[in-house]
Structure 1
Amino acid sequence: MSVCELPDFSDESLLRYSRHILLPEVGIEGQQAIGAAHVLVVGMGGLGSPVAMYLAAAGVGRMTICDDDTVELTNLQRQIAHHQADLGRLKVESAAAEIARLNPEVQVEALARRVSDEPLQALVAAADVVVDCCDNFPTRHALNAACARMAKPLVSGAAVRFDGQLSVFDLRHAESPCYHCLFPDDGGEANDGPCATFGVFAPLVGIIGSMQAAEALKLLAGIGESPVGRLLTLDARSMQWRSLKFKRDPDCPVCLQRP
């Protein structure tokens, strides 16, 4: 995208985003790119809450948020986009209202449904970056397949118990592995599932979700190095990080369908 296609900033916007603009790696053009961007966030729970809040605060121009769930009392231990007064409300409606309170400049499309098949491909095609904040393998694999077909970068995070993980699948580049290269369809289900089944340490989702937001912003602004081909894992009990390298699987059925 050329500079002439990027949005102009008002004096108020320049002040709002001044701490980003002061960073040489971001500057005015990087902040303009963030403001011109469209991010798809799937899941408005523990991970999606900090992702949406930080993307909104950073000035992402447009967000599409997807979740078919409603706010329950058990969510409030960690899902910071929702409050006591939101109990029984759709999570996307609650999150959209919180985004508007934080930054009214952000355009939000709230979709109260599970994403799948053709509608998912259309959503992915319209986005610049996709952030996976869901809690189940079928949705993760569906998102990965759609991103692979549309050559869109995917920021993936997960958190359960005291264990978190993060990776970026930059499917704009042929050499980048996809989610299926790392976790085949028949792998990992035993350790996957909602927090209602396994429990989760509240700050863990904030740590991983904030990192997902950071990686999405880096992709949008074209700065830094993304953990492509690396799986970052965190044990929050010892606060120990590990970085595991992996490569594209030459026999991956999803990658074989990539353009």
Structure 2
Amino acid sequence: MTTHYNVQKHNTIYQVKDRILIGTMPPKAQVIEEAPDYLGNILKYFSKPRTLEDSFKFITSNSSLSEIEARNLVEELIENKIISNKKFDSDNRYSRHSLYFDLIDTPINAQEILANKTVGLVGMGGIGTNIAMNLAGAGIGKLIFSDGDTIELSNLTRQFLYHEEHVNNFKVEQAAKQLALINSEIELVPILESISDVEIFDKYFNECDIIILSADSPAEIHEWINSAAMKHGFAYSNAGYIDSFGAIGPMVIPGKTACYECYKNDGDLYKFLDNGQELPSNLNESFQAPSYGPLNSMVAAVQANEVIRYLIGVERKTEGTRLLINSQNYKIYEEVFTKNENCKKCGHFTHHTENLHASFQESSLTDVYVNERENDSFNSILLDSMMDRLIKVLPNTKILDIGCATGEQAIHFAQKGATIIANDISEEMLEVVNNKVNTLELKGIKTLHGDIVNLNIEDKFNYVICNNVLDYIEDIGTRLSKFKGLLTENGTLIVTIPHPIKDGGVWKKEYYNGRWNYEDFSLQNYFAEGKITKSRENKDGETVISSIESYHRTTETYFQTFVQAGFKVVGLFEPQPPNIVAETHPILFEKCSHIPYFQTFVLKKE
């Protein structure tokens, strides 16, 4: 049988001048830069299924390529998944889903896998029915669903499987009829019974691959499904809402993730619980949970997607994680749960919870510099390239780097041929510098320990660098006088400080979509000068040092102090990040592209 090839059905292809854009969104989209004139016409040719032999003839007739080059081009198109031999049957029930599965690189037999899976649904209300409709449409082989309630008029705001004429009918009986209208090829097993004990899972749901729990009563239901999951080996997940937040997960996979026993005392109610006690009874005996159609649909859609991804074996976001969706602004918060090594249900595994309330391990300043200074810091993305522009290394250039920390700039300029003295008050920092210098076998650099004011240095320097030091010093006038005496007659002093705006305010940040997001910066009291206490964060926005004392001064104060010390300001810079940082360090970019993080003064002696 002859094989036919065509462009991937799910890809758009546009030609913009000499660029060909294949697909629309990363990471699957591809861009062919400087595409040859004939390539667009060839891709258009493959919009219909073509044999390889026919395609070789077309290419050689419509380009300057030889047959060998035409064959190589087709092989390259196949290798890059631009064309393929996958067939598309528009009349197939699951054809559009198959295109989606192709797009996200799922197993080639994804639809066949789903047809052989069994999913349980506990609760056929607003979330359960919406999940059921998604799974029935997706071709899950067997759906087992339970509920003992009848349909009420107030259900119809969100339970779209039911109609007005169904009011007072049992939910599961009507659901079976309606789901069969969606997909008559799947097996439907309605259970007209509410969950009253663990035995219902043993009796009706033991064959399930995964169960979705969208019922929240009785209170013991989570304990029951967890025990049954450990016994029968099925996965399960929760889907519901907490006030105006939709809640999906965590997905519990026996032997892999935390179980309910591990995480039941963590999460949104953590602050109301006392040392692991069970949540007490609700004193509001007339409580009725609000329920909102669009929120039910959002939760159901995410949960159905997670079920399908689990069944076909691709990554799940809710595996061991609960997502909380704010229905008012669509922010997504994550609560991550891992196993408790002392859990009596799921075994001996390490338990750790990472969420908004997670604690951190304090790091030393040296540790922070060693781990992040070279590539993952504001210094690396903002200062290093600017310093390279400001300092011109000529023969016999001498540089004094005051507060050199782990030595990135000192080493950089030594490698360019300058003679360097790298000074710091921290022996730990200088030990790091010395190790780097010895490894690189650099001859033009030496280290000097101690406070620069108290050191006797006879040399004069073309450049004195003092980056992010003066903000730790109460009396900067004395140091500026020392710096002035260390410069050659035409020497340059370069001083960088944390920008007074940045140190005069605070970020409001929130954790959602799997990361810290910096949304609003509040400038609190810019003109209040003096000692301040601030924290230090790493590239991921996690606090690594909780308390650092420094001195806040306004730009005017720094400027006047420089002038009084006998300097003239010949340059003032507020470095901005290059756009590539948005891709490599999104959190750092989000912060330093909105407000200035450093202020650099270039000074000459009057």
Give the strand-richer structure, 1 or 2.
Answer: 2
Determine if contact 1:161/1:201 at 8 Å carries over to the other structure: no
- Counterpart of 1:186 in structure 2 is 278
Q: Report the Cα offset of residue 16 of structure 1.
A: 0.5
- Pair 1:12–1:104, CA change in 2 (3 A): farther
Q: Are positions 1:202 and 2:293 aligned together?
A: yes
2:206 maps to 1:125: yes
Q: Among residues 16, 19, 26, which one is paired with 2:93 in the alignment?
A: 16
Indicate the RMSD between aligned Cα atoms, in angstroms.
Answer: 2.7
Match of 1:49 among 123, 129, 145: 129
Secondary structure (helix, strand or coil) at the match of 1:223 reads coil
Name the CA shift for 1:251/1:124 in 2 (closer, same or farther; >3 Å): farther
Q: Which residue of 2 aligns with 1:108?
A: 188
Deviations 1:158-201 (A, max 9, x none): 114311111143424x241012322248248759x99x713122
3-state SS of paired residue (2:303): helix
Cα distance change on mapping 1:249 and 1:125 into 2, 3 Å: same
1:84 equivalent in structure 2? 164
Larger Rg: 2
Please point out which of 314, 336, 339 is paired with 1:248: 339
For residue 7 of structure 1, what is the aligned residue in structure 2? none
Q: What is the CA–CA distance in structure 2 between the aligned matches of 1:250 and 1:189, rounded to whole Å?
A: 29
CA contact (8 A) 2:198 2:225 kept: no
Could you say which residue in structure 1 is the equivalent of 2:257? 176
Give the conservation status (yes or no) of the 8 Å contact 1:169–1:228: yes
Residues 26 and 85 of structure 1, relative CA distance in 2, 3 Å threshold: farther
Q: Which moved more, 1:212-221 or 1:49-58?
A: 212-221
Whole-angstrom distance in 2 between the partners of 1:171 and 1:145: 12
- Greater shift, 246-255 or 78-87, is seen at 246-255
1:213–1:15 distance in 2 versus 1, CA, 3 Å: same
Select 2:110's aligned residue among 10, 15, 30.
30
**One of 215, 226, 229 as aligned partner of 1:134:** 215
Q: What CA distance in whole angstroms lies between the structure 2 residues aligned with 1:252 and 1:54?
A: 35
Equivalent-residue separation in structure 1 for 2:117 and 2:91 (angstroms): 17
Verify the 8 A CA contact 1:77 1:202 in the aligned structure 2.
Answer: yes
Partners of 1:167 and 1:50 in 2: how far apart? 16
CA distance in 2, matches of 1:100, 1:73: 23
In 1, Cα distance between equivalents of 2:116 and 2:345: 30
Q: Which residue identity lines up with residue 337 of structure 2 in the other structure?
A: F
Which stretch has the larger CA shift, 30-39 or 155-164?
Answer: 155-164
Q: CA deviation at 1:224?
A: 2.5
TM-score by length of 2: 0.38
Change beyond 3 A, Cα 1:82–1:113: same
Task: Answer with 50-59 or 25-34: which moved more.
Answer: 25-34
Number of matched pairs = 245
Task: Give the letter aligned to residue 65 of structure 1.
Answer: F
Give 1:17 shift.
0.6
**CA distance in 1: counterparts of 2:242 and 2:336, whole angstroms:** 22
Tell me the SS of whatever aligns to 1:126: coil
Mind listing any 5+ residue stretches in structure 2 that lack a counterpart? 1-87, 266-276, 349-606
Report if the CA contact (8 A) 1:82-1:94 is conserved: yes
- C-alpha distance in 2, partners of 1:59/1:113? 25
d(CA) in 2 for partners of 1:177, 1:14? 43
Give the match for residue 599 of structure 2: none
Matched, 1:228 2:309: no
Question: What SS does structure 2 have at the residue aligned with 1:210?
Answer: helix
- Describe the shift of the 1:189–1:142 C-alpha distance in structure 2 as closer, same or farther (beyond 3 A): farther
Residue 166 of structure 1: aligned partner: 248
Larger deviation, residues 47-56 vs 154-163: 154-163
Between 1 and 2, higher relative CO (CA 8 Å, sep ≥ 6) is seen in 1
After TM superposition, the runs of 4+ consecutive aligned structure 1 residues lying more than 3 A away are 11-14, 187-191
- Shift of residue 148 of structure 1? 2.0
Tell me: CA distance 1:188–1:164, structure 2 relative to 1, closer, same or farther (3 Å).
farther
Is the CA contact (8 Å cut-off) linking 1:169 and 1:179 kept in structure 2? no
User: Alpha carbons of 1:138 and 1:255: their partners in 2 closer, same or farther (altered >3 Å)?
Assistant: same
Instruction: Give the Cα separation in 2 of the matches to 1:142 and 1:124.
Output: 12
Alpha-carbon distance, 1:94 to partner: 1.4
Sort the Cα spacing of 1:14 and 1:120 in 2 relative to 1 into closer, same or farther, 3 A: farther
Give identity over the alignment, percent.
Answer: 25
* 1:187/1:247 CA distance change after superposition, 3 Å: farther
Q: Does the Cα contact within 8 Å between 2:252 and 2:320 map onto a contact in 1?
A: no
Q: Does 1:212 align with 2:294?
A: no
Report what 1:144 is aligned to. Answer: 226
1:17-56 deviation per Cα after TM superposition (whole angstroms, max 9, x unaligned): 1122222234551110101111111100011011100000
